[in-house]
Amino acid sequence: MTIINALSVRVVKPKIKGEIQSDVAILLPMRNEEGNVIASLSSVIESQGIAHRSIKVLDDHSTDKTAVLARSLPGIEVIAGKELAEGWLGKNYACQQLAESTTAEYLVFIDADVRLAPTAINSALTKMTELHWDFISPYPRQIAVSFLERLMQPLLQWSWISSVPLRLAEKLPFKSMVIANGQFFIVRRSAYIAAGGHAAIKSEVLDDLELARALHKHKFTGGVAEASAVCECRMYEADRDLIAGYTKSLWAAFGGIWGSIFVSALLFITGILPFIIALSGNKWAWTCYLLLTLSRLVSAGRTRSTFSTVFLHPLSMIALIALIIKSWQGKSRGNLLWRGRNVLNS
C-alpha cells in the first residue's frame, strides 16, 4: 500500500504553468500567533501567479500583538473576530467568518504556522483544476525538531500513505477514506456553501476531515495531495504544545471509544509486538519489523519527513497510544483545552 501510494499520490510541484485569473481569497484564522504572523503572511504576500487575490486575517480575540503585526504588512485586511457563538469551536467559527467576508471563487484556508513557497497556491489551484476537483488538501512537509516531534510528526503522513488506497478513495463515497489537512485547504466557494461550510461542522474538533467529509457527502470531488515541495509547517514549538494538541483531538479520531481501543490494539500488535518478539531471535518477527520500517522509509522519502526515528517506530507507537489514552482521560474529565478554550464546551 505504501509503495503504491508513494508512486501514485497526487503531487503539487513547485512550478507555475500559467497565471490564475479567478478571484482567490487567502484566509488565515489567528489567535495569539505573534510568533508566526510576520513569517506566515510574508510567505503569502510573496505568492506568484494569482491575478486577483485578497488576503484576510481573522484576529480571534488575541491578547498579544497578532493584530498589530498583521496590520503592519501591506495588503492585509484584518477582521476583528466576533465573540465565540454558542455551539462553535474557535477555529471553525473563525473560518466561517472569513468565508462570509468574501465573494471570491476560491477560498484558500491557511494556518498561521504554515510557510508557503511563492508558487504554492498557484500550483495547488492548477492541480485542482486539472483534476476537475472542487477542493484540494495539499499536505505540507511537517517540520520536526525535538525528539518527541521526530517521533510523532512523521506519523501524520505515514498513517494515511500506508493505510488508505488514495486513488480509490478519490472515487469511493466512504468517509473513512477521506484524507484532509486544514493547514492548507482550498475549496470552491460554491461547493463550500452548498456543503454548509464550517457551520455544518461547527463543533467538530477534527475540522479538516469533517469539512472534507461534508463536501464528499454533497457529491463534491477532491482529495489530498503531497505538497512538501511547496509548503511546510512546524505545528508545535514546544513538546507541551504537541502533547496538548494531540490530546485535544485524538479522542475524536477513531469513531468513538471502541474504535480507539481497536486502533490502539492494532498499533500494539503491528508496531510494538513484532519488535518485542524479534528480540528473542524470531526471524519472522524481524521480517515484520523490517517491512514496517521499510514502509516508514518509503513514506519519509515521498513526503520529505525525517528519517532519524524510522527505526524507533515501536517507540512512536508507544507514544501515540499513550496520547490516545491521555486524550480519552481529558475527554472523560471534560478538561481538554486549546488556545485557552475548552474544546468540549461547544
Helix (H, G, I), strand (E, B) or coil at 209: helix
Averaged confidence pLDDT in the chain: 95
- For cell 485535544, the residue is 248
Domain boundary among 191, 212, 233: 233
229 & 244 share domain: no
Digit-coded pLDDT (tens) for 276-304: 999 999 999 999 999 999 999 999 999 99
Query: Is the pLDDT confidence value at 5 over 90?
Result: yes
Do 290 and 174 have their domain in common? Answer: no
Burial of 255 (0-12, 13-18, 19+ CB in 10 A): exposed
DSSP calls for 70-88: HHTSTTEEEEEPPPPPTT-
Smallest Cα–Cα separation from 45: which of 57, 33, 35, 34? Answer: 57
Per-residue pLDDT for 344 more than 90? no
Q: Is the pLDDT of residue 168 over 60?
A: yes
Assess whether 205 and 261 both reside in one domain: no
Are 66 and 165 within one domain? yes
248 and 229 part of one domain: no
Backbone angles phi, psi at 3, to 5 degrees: -65, -45
Of the three residues 206, 233, 260, the one that is the final residue of a domain is 233
pLDDT at 171: 85
In this prediction, residue 211 has a pLDDT band, given cuts at 50, 70 and 90, of very high
Asked if residue 97 and residue 11 are part of one domain, the reply reads yes
| Banded model confidence at residue 159, pLDDT cuts 50, 70, 90 | very high
Residue 346 has pLDDT above 60, yes or no: no
Has residue 326 got a pLDDT over 80? yes
Each residue of 24-65: pLDDT tens digit? 999 999 999 999 999 999 999 999 999 999 999 999 999 999
Residue-number span of the structural domain to which 47 is assigned:
2-233
Same domain, 219 and 329: no
pLDDT tens track for 102-123 = 999 999 999 999 999 999 999 9
Pairwise CA distance, residues 336 & 333, whole Å? 8
172 and 106, same structural domain? yes
Are 175 and 252 members of one domain?
Answer: no
Task: Judge if 223 and 159 occupy the same domain.
Answer: yes
Instruction: Give per-residue pLDDT as tens, 327-337.
Output: 999 999 988 88
C-alpha distance from residue 156 to each of 151, 153, 228, 325 (Å)? 11, 6, 13, 18
Residues 6+ apart with CB under 8 A from 74: 45
Q: In CATH, what number is assigned to the domain containing residue 105?
A: 3.90.550.10
State the total domains in the chain.
Answer: 2
pLDDT grade for 173, boundaries at 50, 70 and 90: confident
> Residue 139 pLDDT more than 90?
yes
Cβ contact 24:105 at 8 Å: yes
pLDDT bucket at 69, cuts 50 / 70 / 90: very high
- Say if residue 252 is in the same domain as residue 201: no
